Amino acid sequence: MDWDRQPHRGPGSGNIQDLEEVLRRLKNRYDFSKFPRGSILWIGLIVVLILIGFTSYYTVDPQETAVVQRFGKFVRTADAGLHFKIPFGIETVRKVVTGRVLQREYGYRTIEPGIRSRFAEKGYEEESRMLSGDLNVIDLQWTVQYKVRDPMDYLFQVQDVESTLDDISESVMRRIVGNRYVDEVLTVGRASVADMAETEIQEIIDQYKTGLQITMVKLQNANPPDPVKQAFNEVNEAQQEKERMINEAQQVYNQKIPRAKGEARQKITQAEGYALERVNKAQGEVARFSDILTEYEKAPEVTRSRMYLEAFADFNNKIDRLIVIDGSQQNLLPLFDIGKMSTPESAEGKQ
- Tell me the β-bridge partners of 297: none
pLDDT of 305 above 70: yes
Identify the residue with better confidence: 190 or 55: 190
The 10s digit of each residue's pLDDT in 170-209 is 999 999 999 999 888 888 888 999 999 999 999 999 999 9
Is residue 90 located within the same domain as residue 121?
Answer: no
The 10s digit of each residue's pLDDT in 215-234 is 999 998 888 887 777 887 78
Is residue 118 located within the same domain as residue 60?
Answer: no
- Domain interval for residue 192: 102-224
pLDDT at residue 250, rounded to an integer: 92
pLDDT at residue 213, rounded to an integer: 95
For range 290-308, the mean pLDDT:
82
Is residue 92 located within the same domain as residue 106?
Answer: no
Provide the CATH number for the domain around residue 131.
Answer: 3.30.479.30
Q: Contact, 97 vs 60, CB < 8 A?
A: no
Sequence-ordered list of residues with C-beta below 8 angstroms from that of 131, at least 6 positions apart, any chain = 137, 138, 174, 177, 178
Q: Contact, 204 vs 172, CB < 8 A?
A: yes
- Which of 150-154, 313-317, 331-335 is predicted with the least confidence, judged by mean pLDDT? 331-335
pLDDT of 10 above 70: no
Query: How many structural domains comprise the chain?
Result: 2
Is residue 90 located within the same domain as residue 106?
Answer: no
Q: Which amino acid type is present at position 227? A: P
Q: Contact, 117 vs 110, CB < 8 A?
A: yes
Is residue 155 located within the same domain as residue 106?
Answer: yes
pLDDT at residue 337, rounded to an integer: 57
- Which of 3-7, 33-37, 323-327 is predicted with the least confidence, judged by mean pLDDT? 3-7
Q: Is residue 60 part of a domain?
A: yes
- Which of 72-86, 107-121, 267-281 is predicted with the least confidence, judged by mean pLDDT? 107-121
Q: Is residue 229 part of a domain?
A: no
Pairing assessment for the beta strands 81-84 and 64-70 based on DSSP bridges: unpaired
pLDDT of 345 above 90: no
